[in-house]
Amino acid sequence: MPGILIFSENNAIALELVTAGLGLKATMNHSLCAVALSEADATALAAAGADKVVLLTGQDWPEGCAQPIAELAARELAAVILIGGTARGKDIAAKVANELDAGLVTEAQTIEIAEDKLQTTRLKYGGLAVACEATVLPAVVTIAPRTFDKAVAGGGQGQITSLAATGGDPRVKVSELCPIERQGVDIAAAARIVCVGRGLAKKEDLTLAEDLAKALSAEIGCTRGIAEDYHWLPVERYIGISGQNIKAELYLSLGVSGQVQHVAGIRDAKVIVAVDTNEKAPIFAAADYGIVGDLYEVAPLITAALKK
């Protein structure tokens, strides 16, 4: 019987894929097979509802699992292969799709089966638009973290088997695995955010935003240039399609022009406020409230007003 295959090297994301996979299973009537890289992960996936879990052993580098996963997908006649949309996952997904001569949808936001094809939605043009696409089966799909809720452990009785991954590419050597230190803030979960853009003239002026953030009990976020080009703030604080998606009740920007790639990350904010000298800046079209003016004049006034 054709199946649905899921994989993520990160088990929290794999559990989200179980939710997505069970959704498909309800319409497709196919069994759900998960691939895991550790015994603990395999047990958790089986408990969460995977009908079958294959424990892949003998491969330290997740990217090296592409070949065995593709072989497994072929053997299982998998019609849909869901892979967690991490950087590693996207690398693996492309190789699996290539091996299976299949299409690959990157970071699908919704998935369903319609007319014997996989129908998905995803962002296009830097977040400006949503494309609805149909892919012939078998199809590979990556799904960004937190797109689906984690499946919770129920009375799942999925059977666990193990499979030794063979091969590995002798030309490739991986070394110096080094975790990136996070500074603890999770902008994605912050309730209030003061966001600075390149309207800020120099790093020292961040104090202006910090004062306002303090008055608002907000976290500081920024645009990509502030983090990636100027390195004034850590990269995990930048908001947008290539950075964080925020869900704050209040987002207040200082000197942010509001290009689409940035705005794509603030759409879920409840109230959007913008301060910018340029009345034509796109941020005002995306904002609930705006003040056209110099942030060096306006930000301290807002801070003072809030302190009252």
Partner 1 sequence: MSKILVCYKWVLDEQDIRVNAADASLDLSRAKYKISDYDKNAIEEAVLLQEGQGATVDAVTFGGDAVRQSLKDLLSRGPDKVYYIADPAADKADGYVTAGVLAVAARKTGPYDLIICGEGSADAYNQQVAPRLAASLGLPAITYVQSLKLEDGRVVATRKLGDCTEVVTVEGPAVVSVVPEINKPRIPSLKQVLAAAKKPSEEIKIADLGLSPRQLAAKTVTLTVKGFVMNRKNVLFKEPAQADNVAKLAAALAKEGVC
Ligand X SMILES: Cc1cc2nc3c(=O)[nH]c(=O)nc-3n(C[C@H](O)[C@H](O)[C@H](O)COP(=O)(O)OP(=O)(O)OC[C@H]3O[C@@H](n4cnc5c(N)ncnc54)[C@H](O)[C@@H]3O)c2cc1C
* Of residues 167-206, those binding partner 1 (CB under 8 A): 169, 171-180, 182, 192
- Selection from ligand X, partner 1, none that 287 binds (CB < 5 to 8 A by kind) is partner 1
CA atoms of 257 and 283, how far apart (whole Å): 6
User: Which residue of 12, 40, 124, 278 would you call a contact of partner 1, by CB under 8 A?
Assistant: 124
By CB under 8 A, which span of 16-24, 37-45, 76-84, 297-305 interacts with partner 1?
297-305
User: Which residue of 90, 150, 192, 198 would you call a contact of ligand X, by CB under 6 A?
Assistant: 198
- Selection from ligand X, partner 1, none that 255 binds (CB < 5 to 8 A by kind) is ligand X
Per rule CB under 8 A, count of chain residues that contact partner 1? 80
User: Which residue of 113, 134, 160, 206 would you call a contact of partner 1, by CB under 8 A?
Assistant: 134
* Of residues 59-88, those binding partner 1 (CB under 8 A): 63, 86-88
Tell whether residue 276 is a contact of ligand X (CB under 6 A).
yes
Per rule CB under 6 A, count of chain residues that contact ligand X? 28
* Of residues 115-144, those binding ligand X (CB under 6 A): 126
Q: How many Å separate Cα 10 from the centre of its chain?
A: 13
- Selection from ligand X, partner 1, none that 146 binds (CB < 5 to 8 A by kind) is none
Residue 120 bridge partners (DSSP): 111, 133
Which residue, chain included where needed, has tokens 């340029």?
278
Compute φ and ψ for 256, nearest 5 degrees. -115, 125
3 state SS of 206: helix
Integer CA distances (angstroms), 273 to 186, 197, 251, in order = 21, 14, 6
CA atoms of 285 and 287, how far apart (whole Å): 6
Tell whether residue 148 is a contact of ligand X (CB under 6 A).
no
**Concatenated DSSP letters of 11-75:** HHHHHHHHHHHHHHHHHH--EEEEEESSHHHHHHHHHHT-SEEEEEES-SSGGGGHHHHHHHHHH
Compute φ and ψ for 186, nearest 5 degrees. -115, 95
Q: How many CB atoms lie within 10 A of CB 170?
A: 6
User: Which residue of 143, 255, 272, 273 would you call a contact of ligand X, by CB under 6 A?
Assistant: 255
Residues 6+ apart with CB under 8 A from 137: 79, 80, 116, 117, 118
Rounded CA Rg of the chain: 23
| Nearest-approach distance from CB 235 to ligand X, in angstroms | 10
By CB under 6 A, which span of 54-62, 72-80, 151-159, 272-280 interacts with ligand X?
272-280
- Selection from partner 1, ligand X, none that 257 binds (CB < 5 to 8 A by kind) is ligand X
Q: Are 92 and 104 in contact (CB under 8 A)?
A: no
Tell whether residue 57 is a contact of partner 1 (CB under 8 A).
no
Residue 117 bridge partners (DSSP): 114, 136
Write the interaction track for partner 1 spanning residues 208-237; mark x where CB under 8 A is met and - where it is not: --------x-----------xx--------
Q: Are 32 and 17 in contact (CB under 8 A)?
A: no
By CB under 8 A, which span of 17-25, 45-53, 165-173, 196-204 interacts with partner 1?
165-173
Provide the binding-site residues for ligand X, judged by CB under 6 A. Answer: 126, 197-199, 223-225, 238-243, 255-257, 259, 261-262, 265, 275-278, 281, 294-296
